[in-house]
Structure 1
Amino acid sequence: MLLVPGFMLDADLWRDVVPALGDYGPATYADLSQDSSIAAMARRALLDAPARFVLIGFSMGGYVAREIVRQAPDRVTALVLIATSARGDSDVERQRKAVVAGQAAGTAFKGLSRSAILSSLYPDSAERSDLVDRIQAAGQRLGGDAFRRQSLVERRDERDELAAIGCPSLIVAGDEDRLRSRAEALELHQGLAGSSFEVVAGTGHMVPMEAPQRLATILREWLDRQNAEA
């Protein structure tokens, strides 16, 4: 498996999911902290990836995962996209990028704000300090340079290109995701021919942290079906 995290996250995102997926081979984790474009992130991830692999992308990592498929279609046996989108940057997102671009390169990074983190969680998870602390810790590990690079990454609209992806695909959405809408998840499902679609109840955007066991069950059952049909 090759697992691709989201914005200002690292391999810890998958900490509670991977142990239940041991039957599908060892996990390799993409590092999105070093590069300034989706294409470069995908190239770096492929350098350390197995010859053939199941590809799982979360949020921004979904954009990277689709680029990995475009760069190495023969190496990806199955694609899972979690809490992500195929839309390009919105006007609001472009405005945020302009603010970051206008900041001095040496501006001190204080980590992701608590309000930003809470917006990514299911409302009932607002008091889960364990989740908030894990997300904050990942941002602090990656640091200000990675924050600036990732904040400025361009996400282009890929909705018209989804049909070119031919591998088996699964789309997973959080029931109460306030960062990526159900409509965006359905666009992926409808654009990827023959894809499966699952909604994880009681979760916001951070599905792998908020409901790791339920997510692992969905992944196992879907991967088992792909193996049975192969």
Structure 2
Amino acid sequence: MRTDPLILIPGLLCDATVWEDQVSTLKTHTDILIPDLLTANTPTEMVAAVLNNAPPTFALAGHSMGGWVALEIMRVASTRVTKLCLLNTSASLDTPEKAATRQHFISLANDGEFETLIELLLNAFLYQTHCKAKVKNMLLKNHRALINQEKAMQQRKDCVPMLNTIQCPTLIIHSNQDAVFNLADSTLMQNHIPNATLIQINYCGHMSPMEAPNEVTQYLREWLFAKANAM
């Protein structure tokens, strides 16, 4: 049995590498698309990068920055999304602290301090170290996209007011050792989305698809095959 096509949206400086473990298992059950957001300069361009190549209807999962892009897609094309999964993300605008960190990252990139930047990101992103080399190589490969992506995130809208309009079954995955987004970010989304389920993964940081690949793959598989009234 094959499910609806699945779109997996990666996060900041990330690409299909993030989803390799999930794709290797789920590709036997569904057609998978992974959009490239590395050249997008604005929120509108990020959304277009997903929708321009998307099938008429699809299941949608987004990690980190990709989770916010997924929420923007729900704002403009909700009738095309059959199921939604939000991993390690937030619907809210940046706190002052997060805004300052984002601007600091832009400044480091402008100054060419990419080694410092990547180390800061690795320290924030990872709790488990088994995938550190793989994550580091991906971030280094894509580092020149940071300024555009961070500036796009600075322009984004607050998604909290539209959460209660999401009608499709929604899975929220939170990592209990995530240093980027805390449990309150996930519970806020759970409380405002009418048909949302929250799952917590222990001993896992921000990069859950890579740090806890087996668990994330299993949760995504169950989500894909779940009937609408079962979540």
56, 74, 82: which one aligns with 1:51: 56
Superposed displacement of residue 100, structure 1: 5.2
TM-score under structure 2 length normalisation = 0.87
The aligned residue for residue 195 of structure 1 is: 196
User: Which ranges of 4 or more aligned residues in structure 1 deviate by more than 6 Å?
Assistant: none
Counterpart Cα distance in 1 of 2:76 and 2:193 = 17
Shift of 1:214: 0.9
- Residue 81 (structure 1) aligns with: 86
User: Matches of residues 1-230 of structure 1 in structure 2 within 5 Å?
Assistant: 1-99=6-104, 107-108=111-112, 110-111=114-115, 112-122=117-127, 125-126=128-129, 128=130, 131-144=131-144, 146-152=145-151, 153-154=153-154, 155-226=156-227
- Matched residue type, 1:42: V
Q: What is the alpha-carbon distance in structure 1 between the residues aligned to residue 211 and residue 49 of structure 2?
A: 28
CA contact (8 A) 1:53 1:75 kept: yes
| Alignment partners' CA distance in 2, 1:228 and 1:184 | 25
1:84/1:180 contact within 8 Å kept: yes
Cα contact 2:176–2:182 (8 A) shared by 1: no
Go from structure 1 to structure 2 and tell me whether the alpha carbon gap of 1:15 and 1:217 turns closer, same or farther (over 3 Å shift): same
- How many angstroms apart in 1 are the aligned matches of 2:210 and 2:15? 12
Contiguous gaps of at least 5 residues in structure 2: 1-5
- CA distance in 1 between counterparts of 2:223 and 2:9 reads 19
TM-score, normalised to structure 1's length? 0.88
Cα distance in 2, alignment partners of residues 3 and 218 from structure 1: 14
The alpha-carbon deviation at position 114 of structure 1 amounts to 2.5
Among the aligned pairs, what percent are the same residue? 30
Give the deviation of 1:199 after TM superposition. 0.8
Structure-1 residue corresponding to 2:3: none
**Bigger shift: residues 49-58 or 107-116:** 107-116
- Structure 1 residues 203 and 101, CA gap change in structure 2 (3 angstroms): closer
Query: What is the aligned length?
Result: 223
Shift in Å, 1:187: 0.5
